[in-house]
Amino acid sequence: MPSASEVVAARLVSGPARIVGAGTRPWGRPVNAAALETAALKGWDHEPGDFTVVIGAGERVSEIGARLAEHGQMLALDPPGHGTVGGLVATADSGPMRHRYGAPRDLVIGVQMALADGTVARGGGRVIKNVAGYDLPKLAAGSYGTLGVITEVAVRLHPRPEAWATAVIHHDDVDALQRDALRLARMPLEAEAFDLRWDGGRGSLLVRFAGSAAAERAAKVAGEVIEDDEDVWAQQRARQRGDFVVRVHALPTEIARVLRAVPGATAVGRAGVGTIWLQVPSAFDVTQLRGAITPLTCVVLDAPPSSRGTDPFSLKARPERTLASPALAVDTLASHFDGDDGSTRVAAGGSTRRS
């Protein structure tokens, strides 16, 4: 009986595929190819003592939390929505816990991929520390399915804290908000999350603490402390998605500049990392934003059809020099994994490599 991964690999041999997980991130260019659903890629091999789990790519991220909580553990990735594990890794999406625990690349310790030549390859393993072989798990993270179909991932887990509390600091000036963010980022807070939100003229910094002394530690940072803080963070996550959302990759010292670039914008962001999700009006001109924040990279995630045409995987958004090399055009990498006949064999979530 062939495994679900082998079935996927065999399917790839027969021609281009549009990879579909839960279908919750319709990001990027449409791909004109038959759908390849990952729903059958189930699997759950949890070793609580090792703080690791191997998960089928078709499992839903939102359903994992409860299973792990029974063991006092968590997967420290909290993207918005109800997507699959494969989709999460393929898009390198993340949520507020990115601040402390990192992006998918930082927590994925092993990956299994079905490749366009019909083989199933693995990289990494299921131990936390491992430097044998090239780091395919990281290469898979954010590859949008263009190197292969992620069929299974091994991830590192963390202890689930017993309590949380969030300190809220209000600001009505972007410069003051940025100054405060920089001040807090220099402190050894060991915060679980450190976010900003902005509603066209006023906003706040949110610092989340965990553990038995969470409320006490939050109180040291700000007067306003929310102990029952689940909703606060659910909102932060939710606002990473919307009708028209642009993600900007900034540094903490560029927060004010980004918030100012879109008058009246609402935004959430990782104050310590610098990544900001802007909710912009439907008639918004992204080109103008790109000009205003040069050389920062921005990625259009969700957009009305009229404003599409900007590939979220677009490398044009990056400085030209990153693509300067003939030997290392990113396409070269894709073509090695994906056949070099110029056709797009594998593509995911509506995204495709340029051919």
Partner 1 sequence: MADVGSELIARLRDICGERHVVTHAHQLKTYESDGLLHYAVTPGAVVLPGSADEVAAVVGACYAAGTPFVARGAGSGLSGGALPVADGIVIALSRLRRVLEVDLDNGRVVVEPGVTNVEVTAAVAPGFFYPPDPSSQIVCTIGGNVAENSGGAHCLKYGFTTNYVTGLEVVLTDGTVVEVGGARADLPGYDLLGALVGSEGTLAVVTKITLRVVPVPEAVRTLVAFFDSLLDAGEAVTAITGAGVVPAAIEMMDNLAIQAAEPMANAGFPLDAGAALLVELDGSEQECDARFEEVEAFCRDAGANEVRVAADAAEAARFWRARKAAFAAMGRIAHAYYVQDGVIPRTKLGEVLQRISALSEEYGLRVANVFHAGDGNLHPLVCYDSDEDAERAAELSERILDACLELGGSITGEHGVGYDKKKHMGKQFSEPDLAAFQMLRCAFDPHGLANPGKVMPTPRLCGEVPGVYRRHPLEEAGVAERF
Element holding 332 (H helix, E strand): helix 330-338
Reading the block at residue 64, the tokens are 């994992």
Candidates 223, 264, 326, 342; binder of partner 1 (CB under 8 A) is 326
Q: How far is CA 136 from the centre of its chain?
A: 17
Q: For partner 1, what does the binding mask look like between residues 5 and 34, x meaning CB under 8 A? A: -xx-xxx-xxx-------------------
46 binds partner 1 (CB under 8 A): no
As measured in angstroms, the least distance from the Cβ of 155 to partner 1 is 14
Identity at 38, one-letter amino acid code: T
256 is an interface residue for partner 1 by CB under 8 A:
no
Residues 274-303 that bind partner 1 (CB under 8 A): 274-275, 296-297, 299
- Looking at the DSSP bridge assignments, the partners of residue 224 are 168
Site string for partner 1, 167-186 (x = CB under 8 A): ---------------x--xx
Site map 82..101 versus partner 1, x via CB under 8 A: ----------x-x---x---
Q: Which of 47, 173, 175, 230 binds partner 1 (CB under 8 A)?
A: 47
134 near partner 1, judged by CB under 8 A: yes
Residue 156, SS3? strand
What value does the CA radius of gyration of the chain take, rounded to a whole number of Å?
21
Q: Does 158 sit near partner 1 (CB under 8 A)? A: yes
Residue 318 binding partner 1, by CB under 8 A: yes
> CA 158, CA 253: separation in Å to the nearest integer?
30
**From 42, 288, 319, 355, residue interacting with partner 1 (rule: CB under 8 A):** 319
CA geometry: angle 31, 58, 53, nearest 5 deg? 135
**Binding residues for partner 1, total number by CB under 8 A:** 97
Chain centroid to CA 88: how far?
A: 6
The residue from 37, 142, 257, 292 that contacts partner 1 (CB under 8 A) is 142
Q: Is 43 in the site for partner 1 (CB under 8 A)?
A: no
Q: How far apart are CA 199 and CA 346, in angstroms?
A: 39
Rounded-to-integer distance, Cα 47 and Cα 88, Å: 21
Q: Which of residues 209-248 bind partner 1 (CB under 8 A)?
A: 211-213, 216-217
- Binding residues for partner 1 restricted to 98-127, rule: CB under 8 A: 98, 102-103, 105-106, 113, 115, 118-123, 125-127
DSSP state of 160: P
- Burial of 153: CB neighbours in 10 Å, binned 0-12, 13-18, 19+: buried
